[in-house]
Structure 1
């Protein structure tokens, strides 16, 4: 028996935004031009102080898809925003949830391209163009026991048009509600960083997760980069440096819960992450300032990893 065909109106696009109304406007304009359109667009506003609310309201008339707008009382980070967005879409009955930041645009046939794979897979990642129009390389596989991306996983797709992945990226993750039900919502405790990798890893333990050779998004924000050939290393920030190290503790907790924790290999992954961030500082940002945030993240992560009351995100009721 073949799977049911994909119904575009069963999908909800979930967008998380914070003080970037000009980028959000571009994304909403691209969604309005899509053919087909999703049933809903869920916008989670992380307590923006700009004109985000007014921008959203300006799109309501004649948009096509239903716009569901939630303005949070505090900034919960990307992790909290995607958790709330996935919860909202799930509660509204969406069969497919397409997660994305506000600094992308959707290509006109993006939903049709993703939907073509929906009868075969339940956790799907599309591809995207970078700001300059080049093909963005995303590290779709992780070295599981180390909890870090494999930087040079093969980029070719071959005749199948897809590759199995054990990670995820909230810049375009397309996931079925049945998987969300089993693994629960994205974990808001991450705030930023590693949250989507963990969510994709959890999904890959429930279903065959794939990245497909379909360009569906275009990045609209320029980020300072170090061009390494097949991939780029982006500039970061002090906040990112802190959470990159602190949130290793949450990965450790999840690995322990799922029997995937290896103390030696995970420690090697943490050391490699620390070294990578030092390289990013020197070669991308041309400075050595910011290392204190890495050490602070390690310190706070140590406290989190010793918390015996910690529990993973629960599964959702049907």
Structure 2
């Protein structure tokens, strides 16, 4: 466990400068949601040094929305429109790269369907002197506390769905995962593990990135509400957590991208074929449950099988290499 501070007399304010942080947002054809996010950033106190917006080749008025908010946000906006839709994975990879090249000490990653609470950065900065990979808490669309699966069963490569939700007096819990809906990560960790892997396109990318970070530093989720989700998603209420509705594209990538996790596991020497295969089978079963109980349909299973098929080809690629560290 890293020490709480270098000296008992030091305070968080002496260690963390809000201007050293960059919010990196990925958006795609959701200018209305992006507007809400930018308006929430305008209300922040303190504000980050930069806001990076990566536009995944939107065809709506996203560019106009960004321009309309340049003078309203109160901090510098860096807008990057990609030529093609690279998915969330590609967008966060590009957003992290831009933030890193801006010299940002801290990079706060988020989707366009959240808004930042006014004191969100102050709350995250409070923990910055102690940790280098931090996840804050979120309110759901309806104002309830959103439960995020912060622990993964490493041999299986899947989240633990009912990891304890409560916090003790320390105000944090160690995690070995990550979520790009609010990941707050230090440039030192980004430098060592490289950029988020754009090959995932969507799904498992943030879990894998957070897992890689946790192998280098003590990663934590802190008992601080810093974001609020602004998009309502059809859900199945399971008590401590919810199961969201999905899509055919998600079903495909959920299964295909198991192959990328397998490659990372092999590279880092933690791959157990039996246990990882069990994790894949459990993932497949969970997606069947999602179809039946959340979306209430049976069509869509073909996308799971296609993902497994294409994942098999990826896992046999002898030329595959992980993302490389960045130059300091």
Equivalent-residue separation in structure 1 for 2:136 and 2:71 (angstroms): 29
Q: Paired residue for 1:287?
A: 297
| 8 Å contact from structure 2 (residues 200, 257) kept in 1 | yes
Q: Which of 23, 33, 52 is 2:62 aligned to?
A: 52
- How far, CA to CA, are the matches of 2:187 and 2:279 in structure 1? 31
1:19-98 matched pairs, under 5 angstroms: 19-98=29-108
TM-score (norm 1): 0.99
Confirm or deny: 8 A CA contact 2:133 2:217 kept in the other structure: yes
Partner of 1:187: 197
Asked if structure 1 preserves the Cα contact closer than 8 Å seen for 2:27 and 2:53, the reply is yes
Q: Please say if 1:312 is aligned against 2:325.
A: no
Are 2:308 and 1:298 aligned?
Answer: yes
Question: What is the distance in 1 between the residues matched to 2:195 and 2:71?
Answer: 31
1:141 corresponding residue in structure 2: 151
Tell me how far 1:62 sits from its aligned partner: 4.0
Which residue pairs with 2:20 in the alignment?
10
TM-score (norm 2): 0.96
* Aligned residues: CA RMSD: 0.7
Q: Secondary structure of 1:243's partner?
A: helix
CA shift for structure 1 position 256: 0.3
CA distance in 2, matches of 1:61, 1:312: 40
- 1:87-138: per-residue Cα shift (whole Å, max 9, x none)? 0000010000000000000000000000000000000000000001000000
Aligned to 1:173: 183
Q: Distance in 1 between matches of 2:190 and 2:133?
A: 10
Cα distance in 2 for residues equivalent to 1:116 and 1:199: 23
- Please give the per-residue CA displacement for 1:1-48, whole angstroms capped at 9, x wherever unaligned: 347511000000000000000000000000010000000000000000
Cross-structure match for 2:169? 159
Distance 1:55 1:294 in 2: 36
Q: Give the counterpart of 2:262 among 246, 252, 271.
A: 252
Correspondence for 1:204: 214
1:271 pairs with one of 272, 278, 281: 281
Are positions 1:217 and 2:227 aligned together?
A: yes
1:239 aligns with 2:249: yes
Unmatched 5+ stretches in structure 1: none
SS across alignment from 1:179: helix
Q: CA deviation at 1:162?
A: 0.2
Count the aligned residue pairs: 318
Contact 2:39 2:73 in 1 (8 A): no
Distance 2:75 2:278 in 1: 47
CA distance in 2, matches of 1:7, 1:128: 23
For 1:80-119, list aligned pairs within 5 A: 80-119=90-129
Q: Secondary structure at the match of 1:26?
A: helix
Moved over 2 A (4+): 1-4
Distance 1:154 1:260 in 2: 25
- What CA distance in whole angstroms lies between the structure 2 residues aligned with 1:138 and 1:193? 15
How far residue 285 of structure 1 moved from its aligned partner, in angstroms, is 0.2
Q: Does 1:129 align with 2:133?
A: no
Q: Once the 2 structures are TM-superposed, how far is the Cα of residue 287 of structure 1 from its aligned partner?
A: 0.3
Superposed displacement of residue 63, structure 1: 2.5
Q: Which residue of 1 aligns with 2:3?
A: none
